Amino acid sequence: MPAEAWLTLAAIAAAVFVLVRDLLPPAPVLLGTVVVLLVVGVIDTEQALAGFANPAPITVAALFVVARAVEKTGAIQPLVSSVLREKDGPRSALARLLFPVAGSSAVLNNTPIVAMLVPQVSSWAERRGRSPASYLMPLSFAAILGGVVTVLGTSTNLLVSGLLEASGEDPIGVFEITRLGLPVAVIGTVALVLLAPRLLRNRAPARRDLAGNAREFVVDMDVVPDGAIDGLSVEAGGLRHLAGVFLVQVRRGPDLIGPVAPSLILRGGDRLRFVGRADNVIDLQAVRGLDSAAQEHVAFDAGASAFFEAVVGAESPLVGKTLKEAGFRSRYQAAVVAIHRAGARLEGKLGSIPIRIGDTLLLLADPGFRSRWYDRNDFLLVSPLDAAPPVSSRQAVAVAAVIVAIITTAATGLLSLLEASLLGAFGLVVGRVLSPGEARRAVDIDVVLLIAAALGLGQAASQSGLAAEIAGGLVGALDGLGVYGTLGGLMIATVILTELVSNAAAAAIMFPIAVVAAADVGHDPRGFAIAIAVAASASFLSPIGYQTNTMVYGPGGYRFFDYARLGAPLTAIVVVTTVILEPLFWG
């Protein structure tokens, strides 16, 4: 194997190690890998920067803007309202929910679809006396399956399309992937409807802990007029470092003060709210100058504060830090009432618990918390508890028209997908559906950079000879099994890799190998490339393999291995269906 191939293999192996250990987010890891390969001479400057000149990253950015407009205007809300009926049984409810979700995900980014549906589906299930766990994981999986129906469905499809274009082939047409993706999505969704009620266990979601045990971690106390702490600061009054509880809000007449600074001077009649380990109430009873407010309700009033659940994603700056280290209260203007992990509320002092990917934080904040943070990387999902579903606005019709125009012009060849997507996003801003600031925040820069870096990494694997060496070994090992065996081996390797790193990274690593392997067995490389896109999107085995899986992890109250219980048979179904059908269409 050439020296350049060994260098590329070492760089990719190092990147995979860093990603598996969650030492750094995927985008900087892949960018760093491309830079290293540039410096050591495996690729030149043009090849390293090829991803930034490719249409795929910009197309993804434009489609993020379109998806944000859909979410803001409630363009799919009428569809959501029609599928969540009160009289459906478990399987009929799943069928009514999952097929429209998969259909919507075929043309829209699945993240905002899942984000919009999680609180509504959770509330609907709770009203019916059912566990949200029966619906939220299938919801995420159906959104993933729908993403393989058209090239617009996921950023992974657009990445593979960009890789094909960079290799001298035509990009994937809007509906070219449909002949394989549609059967995969339909069969997979039917499997979800049949298997989910049998394989998923009832779990207690994070929001149920707040509704059923609010007194366990929320305590209100009054400052006694002329008492021991009347006129003292929070710090001087001994309320700064209590064991198991901390002060988050002060009600002073009509005013609500929060977060509470250590220097705030307390006054007689102030009502103090403490959250955290409120079962350690003896700490508060021991403070002279405080009396129990003995309230039976949780919030001060509906207009002054609200409860939210927020799911921490892989890109969040909170990961690996404690709430104290992150300065959570001052940074987010909110207090963490409880932390849920793997279906259970964590015990101990909340401020000293390191935050992990997938943790669900139950927050007490002002009603504007979601509008400030829902489109940031800090949280994958921010949903208010007991919130009314969004109402479809008049602009929803315009957004739907833009989506239809993008699909039609790109599918007919009147415009390229890049041109159609950019024109649609620009029209939404000019038409004031989105402000320029909203459009800018809608773009996930990490995903755009990840795709650009992945394209450069694909160039390195191809140019160095590493892809040819691995493909030759794979074809030789599966000698005698022909196209079906080679394709099956490629798909299984991609599925495993996408759970270890990310779907974009897996597609970038496996694409050049698939193209060479297809040539070795005398097959159309486009078919193998599209199969790799399907396999890279088939992330059903863990809550951290795909961001929609992470979004439902806490709200569903799931354990880590709940995903494999339903995801393993679904993965097998996707792989087998693809291996059988792909040679029929691209043989």
| Amino acid sitting at position 399 | V
Rounded Cα gap, residues 340 and 328, in angstroms: 16
Alpha-carbon Rg of the chain, whole angstroms? 26
pLDDT given for residue 92 in this prediction? 86
Say whether 570 sits in a helix, a strand or coil.
Answer: helix
Q: Token pair of 13, please?
A: 């192996």
Element (H, E) at 445: helix 445-463
Tokens 């699909």 belong to residue: 407
- Sign (positive or negative) of CA dihedral 447, 66, 83, 302: positive
Rounded Cα gap, residues 300 and 249, in angstroms: 10
Q: What pTM does this model have?
A: 0.78
Q: Are 404 and 79 in contact (CB under 8 A)?
A: no
Element (H, E) at 428: helix 417-430
List the domain boundaries for the chain: 43-203+399-586
pLDDT given for residue 299 in this prediction? 41
Whether the bond between 259 and the residue before it is cis, its omega within 30 degrees of 0, is yes
Give strand ranges (E) for 70-225. 218-223
Rounded Cα gap, residues 495 and 112, in angstroms: 24
Rounded Cα gap, residues 430 and 424, in angstroms: 10
Cβ neighbours of 44 (radius 10 Å): 12
Q: Are 538 and 561 in contact (CB under 8 A)?
A: no
Q: What is the DSSP string of 456-509?
A: HHHHHHHHTSHHHHHHHHHHHHTTTSHHHHHHHHHHHHHHHHHHHS-HHHHHHH
Torsion of CA 444, 446, 450, 451, to 10 degrees: 20
Rounded Cα gap, residues 348 and 245, in angstroms: 10
Element (H, E) at 199: helix 178-199
Rounded Cα gap, residues 536 and 492, in angstroms: 10
pLDDT given for residue 211 in this prediction? 54
Average pLDDT for runs of 10 along the chain of length 587? 86 85 81 91 86 87 88 72 68 89 88 83 80 91 94 90 89 93 96 93 69 58 90 87 75 83 90 69 72 53 66 87 87 83 76 88 82 82 69 76 91 90 93 89 85 85 83 75 88 87 84 89 92 92 84 86 93 96 90
- Sign (positive or negative) of CA dihedral 498, 500, 502, 506: negative
